[in-house]
Amino acid sequence: MAKAETPPVSQKITPSKKKTKSIIILALSVLGIILVGGGYWSYSKYMQSGGSEGVSAVHGSLGGEAISGKSESIALEPFLVNLADPGGRRYLKVKIDLEVNRDFSEEIEKSLPKIRDAIILLLSSKTYDELATLSGKQTLRQEIIAKLRTLPGGRAVMGAYFLEFVAQ
C-alpha cells in the first residue's frame, strides 16, 4: 500500500497578540488624553468665564428683577417636610443655600423666618412624582426663587442651590 502524502500545512502570518494588545492600549490612552483635554477646555471656556452671566440671566427672568451685584451665600437649616402624596407616607429632606446680593444680606437674615415659612409651604405642596425627575427639581428651584422674590427684601435673592435632596 502506498502512503498518502499529506500536503504541507500552510502557516498563516498573523500579528502577535502582544502587538495587538499594545496597539489597543495605546489607542485607548490617546483617546483618554483627548477626552480629558476636551473636558478641561470646555470647563475653562464655559464654566469659569461665562457661567455666572448665564446664571444671572436665568435668575433675572424669574419672579421679579433680581438686584445685581456682588453675592454671598446664606446657608439655611435643612428642611424636612411630608410630601402631598395620598397617605402622607413620603417625605422630603432638602438643604438649600441662597445666593443673595451682599448689600442686602442683613435684610435677608432678618427675613429668615418668613423665608423658611414660604419654602416649607412650597415644599409640602409637592408630590413625590413632581420631584422625582431632574426637570421637577429644576422647576422647584425656579418656584423657590420666584416665591422668595415676592417677600420683602426678596429681590436680593439671586439663586437657590440644593446641597442635599432626599425624597422617599
Delimit the domains of the chain by residue range: 17-49, 53-167
Please give the Cα distance from 153 to 151 (Å, whole number): 6
> Which parts of the chain have pLDDT scores under 50?
49-64
Write the CB contacts of 66 (distance below 8 Å, at least 6 apart in sequence).
Answer: 56, 59, 60, 101, 149, 155, 156, 157, 158
What is the predicted pLDDT for the residue at 63? 44
What is the predicted pLDDT for the residue at 60? 44
Q: Which CATH architecture has domain 53-167?
A: 2-Layer Sandwich (3.30)
What is the predicted pLDDT for the residue at 50? 43
Please give the Cα distance from 123 to 148 (Å, whole number): 13
What is the predicted pLDDT for the residue at 35? 86
In this structure, what C-alpha cell is assigned to residue 8?
Answer: 504541507
What is the predicted pLDDT for the residue at 128? 93
Q: Residue 128 CB: number of other CB atoms within 10 A?
A: 16
